[in-house]
Structure 1
């Protein structure tokens, strides 16, 4: 059976996120055909510079999501501080002020679960370094929907708590180094 056509990538990261994402996102080539939605745990009370910083490092367009923004292929979207990021039917992204999940807003679980509902087997979900268990439940929902699940090798993570929790939730996920994740995405 042929694998489904991949439609989107979702990535979640927390402590150590900037360095981990710096190993992956700048390597995505011009012409990369998938949208990439990223949740990084950020302080809720400060303006985030993460989209600006990656805009300078990446070949692809980089945006901080605005509510009801249409999803465009080959664009990297970052959740803004203090908002959950969700994928909606009809190809748009939405923002929510619903309660924090595992003390986090934006929550990786919220993004992964909403994206798995829309993209199903066409979704690639990646859990990177972090200090809590956010992302584990969402990664499981991607697996159940038939999507591809990838976890940063906990031995290489700045903080292994999040990848270890994801691995307990999805023992069948691919365990890859940052370099291998970057290579995998470039070959999709």
Structure 2
């Protein structure tokens, strides 16, 4: 693995950022995945869950009950930190820049949704290349499929929930059909595999 400006120190974690996307059925799925992580999880976690834009969300507090991570709504121009999960606010696209700084936008819908998993994954790919892990969980529609291709094109790692295991198959099936997935796993397997990936040291 190699990525200019990312993780040049011997023995650093092989991966620097985790991005997870879900839609219908996603809150339960996110709780299951995040519950597997230890409190010293060595990377930031960016979350896109399609939410009703007409209401404020309590998703951070709901997820906080099941994980050792700190979970909060993402803020514009916020610098990401390890061990913190950043939730895209309703009706705002969430992106991350090369310096690990978040941006929130109200640009047009992508595949009828905002926030867009595709935009998040594409920004993660551009900023972190092969040190990024992108995960697609349960959901209807195809959001995330273009984004996982972008992550794979930059030699990042893609994990997709097995559609046969997902409450809603649209998003994971669309992601799987891109042939970009490194792992197609049941929900119970995803969290432990992510934890192991992020515990792996980069011995470049």
> Same fold by TM-score, threshold 0.5 exceeded?
yes
- Scaled by the length of structure 1, the TM-score of the pair is 0.96
Find the partner of 1:152 among 154, 158, 161. Answer: 161
Preserved contact between residue 167 and residue 173 of structure 1 (Cα < 8 Å): no
Counterpart in the other structure of 1:110: 119
- Scaled by the length of structure 2, the TM-score of the pair is 0.88
* Superposition RMSD in Å: 1.6
Give 1:110-129 correspondences, 5 Å limit.
110-129=119-138
Counterpart in the other structure of 1:21: 30
Separation in 2 of the partners of 1:12 and 1:170? Answer: 17
Q: Moved runs in structure 1, 4+ residues, more than 6 A?
A: none
Separation in 2 of the partners of 1:109 and 1:185? Answer: 20
Higher mean displacement: 126-135 or 88-97: 88-97
Separation in 1 of the partners of 2:99 and 2:135? Answer: 23
Cα deviation, 1:30-52, whole Å, max 9, x if unaligned, reads: 11101110000011111011011
* Number of equivalences: 188
Preserved contact between residue 133 and residue 162 of structure 1 (Cα < 8 Å): yes
Q: Does 1:12 align with 2:28?
A: no
Separation in 1 of the partners of 2:59 and 2:122? Answer: 23
Separation in 1 of the partners of 2:26 and 2:41? Answer: 22
Preserved contact between residue 94 and residue 115 of structure 2 (Cα < 8 Å): yes
* Secondary structure, counterpart of 1:69 in structure 2: coil
Unaligned runs of 5+ in 1: none
Give 1:131-170 correspondences, 5 Å limit.
131-170=140-179
* Secondary structure, counterpart of 2:96 in structure 1: strand
Q: Does 1:77 align with 2:86?
A: yes
Question: Shift of the alpha carbon at 1:11?
Answer: 0.3
Task: From the superposition, tell whether residues 172 and 78 of structure 1 become closer, same or farther in structure 2 (CA, over 3 Å).
Answer: closer
